[in-house]
Structure 1
Amino acid sequence: MNLVCHIGTPKTATTYLQETCAANPDWLRENGMVYPDLLSPIANHITLFYAAAQYVDPSAHAYGLRSMAEVAVFRGTLADQIRQQIAAAPPGVTTMLMSSENLTGNLGGPGVRELACLLRPLFDQVRIVVYLRRQDDAVLSMYGEFMRRGYHGAPFAEFVENALRPDPTPPYLNYRRLLGHWIEAFGAQAITVRLFDRAELVDGDVLTDFMAQVLGRRPDLAGLVPSGNGNESLSAPALEFLRLIQPMVPFQMNNTVNPARQRLERRINRLPGTPRPQMSAAQSARIMAHYRAANDWLRQTFFPDRPGPLFAPRPELPADSNLGRISLTEFARFTGEMLQ
């Protein structure tokens, strides 16, 4: 059995790919693939992250993991589960797919090495597939996710500052640092890097592109039913609403996931998607300048035939961001959505 491990990055349609794979076992089987059950009720193989991380994430508490000793036991249990899934694979199935954006969003270098120790003995070959988007888009998208989930209540300008620190949030935007961990653990030849841009994707579609990377050819997607989960972004006023209420309903409380926040999730996802959030042209230019050296390395290492820069400037962006603004009427309307 060979393994294709899709590692995100976050906000590159990973939920869409995961749920599509989980919902189409027959199509995958007909094409020689299986998307396994890795001891999780969700399509995201987040248990790979729990087993490899060098700390106990609060969300792992729901899996009974509260200490590193329990994680060590779980790691062995997960390895046994993978072996069982390999043994149960139908004839003709030669590729197992795994996918979790947590492997790039939350896993550091020691964790990547731990993951390699877990996976490499179980498979004849391991391939890593990763999608990378330009950092200004990634920062804006991740800010929306932080507001949606209630991770913190920082305004967007502060979030941008955090993205430019030596220990940035999000932590995965320096692609040289990020991929260096995976090159060290799996080798550069095992890593396929794709740019999350319609102009770069096969047929301009991430699902078609992903299956093309797995199969090594342009896929015939007839019979494959895409997931309806597009994980759409929220509007700029909705993000400001969520930022303002975050101190009252944060994601985490008492060192565990806040059940009050979880109960709001469905209602939050009903908030409007327009007007779409936009950063300013100056913010975009500053972010991309900060990551220019890492992007030059990325181009030279994985796209040596491409002229630079890897990501073009964005002159179409406005002079002022539309984030951080909400009218009293919008606030009242969104509050009503939360109460329904």
Structure 2
Amino acid sequence: MIGELILHLGDFRTGSTAIQSWLRDQGLAQGIYYPPGFNHAPLAHSLPHPDARAHHFGVMADHMAASDAPFAVISAEHFEFSDPADLAEALAAHMPRQTVRMRLISYVRPHPQSYLARFAESAKIGSFEGDLDGYLDWPQTVKRMTYAPRFERWKRVFGEAFHVRLYDRSHFVGGDVLRDFASFVTGTDPGPQTLEANPSPGLESLAYARAFHRAIGALPDEAASARWTLGRHLGRQMTALNLSQTPLQLHKTLAERLVEQFQDDAAATDAAYFDNSPLSKALAAAPAQALEAPQSLAPEDHLNPQAIEAVTLWGNMMRHALVAPGGSEIVNRLYHE
């Protein structure tokens, strides 16, 4: 029986992939049991569905009952979308006596940095086709980046067991998110760790991904998740090539819009969880740090004609695979983490 359960809730684009890779490969050496699966997104996705919830949480409980590690971690950034009350019910039903203690942790990135990272991810996987300015008009962007009410729901259900930590290298234990997370879980700094990074793509990679998804074109709804899986795999391949990248940056007008949209949320989140108002300070600093004019993400501005022809060819081929009977399921199985 495990000693303590830690639920790592995300957020998206706050080092979750690196943490999950580390837990899978090195967690047991630190006394942390990490149940099977690269991440535990199926648990988060099952919460609104009683039968699926019973299955997934029952299997997870069986895994943890067989471990005598001092700590166990369930990790999925997909909990960002979950109802805390559903999670509390699932834990009470399936893991009532398996832990001495339970804690929950969510990392939060300052709004300007989060906006850029989330846009890059959405563009990479093909879930958003618009430009950087238009991302702020996408309804789910504001909903997901309005932190205070979402975190308040978690606090209301789990009380002092729920913790929010700032995603900022200068605030991490040892300047490393892995050391910071391990220190939170175990109470001991494990020292320098090997980081398997999942960096945000730069302009050149984003241009390539946009050309790729443009070639794939519109897909039926049932193929959407396979497109996202394919986009994540494309991102991993581009990272492995270690290509030279121009960082994605805000421009001044957009930075000012972000201040207007999120300044109340930054202040409320700071007041609830942080000293010295780091979210408010990062947001207020954004316009002065921004570019004067927007950057171009058009493939034609970053790729030569031969590269565009090649990526269009591969995008067309992948479209045929994705719309073929059973094709999207095969792509998801082949390329998922």
Indicate the TM-score class for this superposition, using the shorter chain for normalisation.
Answer: 0.7 to 0.9
In structure 2, the residue matched to 1:148 is 124
TM-aligned CA deviation for residue 241 of structure 1: 4.2
What SS does the corresponding residue of 1:327 show, helix, strand or coil? helix
In structure 2, the residue matched to 1:300 is 271
In structure 2, the residue matched to 1:202 is 173
TM-aligned CA deviation for residue 202 of structure 1: 1.1
Is residue 319 of structure 1 aligned with residue 292 of structure 2?
yes
TM-aligned CA deviation for residue 328 of structure 1: 5.8
What SS does the corresponding residue of 1:83 show, helix, strand or coil? helix
Deviation per CA, 1:71-103: give whole Å up to 9, x if none: 42221122222221222113xx23211111111
Stretches of 4+ moved more than 6 A in 1?
Answer: none
In structure 2, the residue matched to 1:132 is 108
Q: Is contact 2:182-2:190 (8 Å) kept?
A: no
Alpha-carbon spacing, 1:305–1:320, altered in 2? closer, same or farther (3 Å): closer
What SS does the corresponding residue of 2:145 show, helix, strand or coil? coil
Is residue 17 of structure 1 aligned with residue 19 of structure 2?
yes
TM-score by length of 1: 0.78
Distance 2:34 2:147 in 1: 27
Distance 1:211 1:133 in 2: 19
TM-aligned CA deviation for residue 267 of structure 1: 4.4
Deviation per CA, 1:174-231: give whole Å up to 9, x if none: 11111022012211x11221111111111111011111111223x1247x6x353x12
Of residues 30, 43, 63, the one that matches 2:38 is 43
Distance 1:18 1:284 in 2: 32
Distance 1:192 1:213 in 2: 10
Is residue 113 of structure 1 aligned with residue 85 of structure 2?
yes
Is residue 73 of structure 1 aligned with residue 43 of structure 2?
no
In structure 2, the residue matched to 1:61 is none
- Root-mean-square deviation (Å): 2.8
* Mapping 1:225-244, distance limit 5 Å: 226-228=194-196, 230-244=197-211
Of residues 207, 220, 228, the one that matches 1:253 is 220
TM-score by length of 2: 0.79
Distance 1:17 1:307 in 2: 23
Deviation per CA, 1:256-298: give whole Å up to 9, x if none: 3465775565445444451121111331232133211121121
Is residue 159 of structure 1 aligned with residue 135 of structure 2?
yes
Give identity over the alignment, percent: 18
Q: Is contact 1:35-1:96 (8 Å) kept?
A: yes
Distance 1:264 1:134 in 2: 25
Counterpart AA for 1:116: A
What SS does the corresponding residue of 2:164 show, helix, strand or coil? strand
What SS does the corresponding residue of 1:5 show, helix, strand or coil? strand
What SS does the corresponding residue of 2:163 show, helix, strand or coil? strand
Counterpart AA for 1:96: A
What SS does the corresponding residue of 1:141 show, helix, strand or coil? helix
Distance 2:304 2:228 in 1: 18
Alpha-carbon spacing, 1:89–1:251, altered in 2? closer, same or farther (3 Å): farther
Distance 1:267 1:306 in 2: 37
Q: Is contact 1:4-1:129 (8 Å) kept?
A: yes
Counterpart AA for 1:79: F
Structure 1, gaps ≥5 residues long? 55-70
Counterpart AA for 1:134: P
Alpha-carbon spacing, 1:308–1:150, altered in 2? closer, same or farther (3 Å): closer
Distance 2:174 2:228 in 1: 38
Deviation per CA, 1:51-70: give whole Å up to 9, x if none: 21x3xxxxxxxxxxxxxxxx
Alpha-carbon spacing, 1:97–1:280, altered in 2? closer, same or farther (3 Å): same
What SS does the corresponding residue of 1:193 show, helix, strand or coil? strand
Distance 2:153 2:218 in 1: 29
In structure 1, the residue matched to 2:303 is 330
Counterpart AA for 2:145: L
Distance 1:331 1:151 in 2: 25
Alpha-carbon spacing, 1:307–1:120, altered in 2? closer, same or farther (3 Å): same
In structure 1, the residue matched to 2:75 is 99
Alpha-carbon spacing, 1:252–1:180, altered in 2? closer, same or farther (3 Å): farther
In structure 2, the residue matched to 1:88 is 66
Alpha-carbon spacing, 1:260–1:197, altered in 2? closer, same or farther (3 Å): closer
TM-aligned CA deviation for residue 248 of structure 1: 4.0
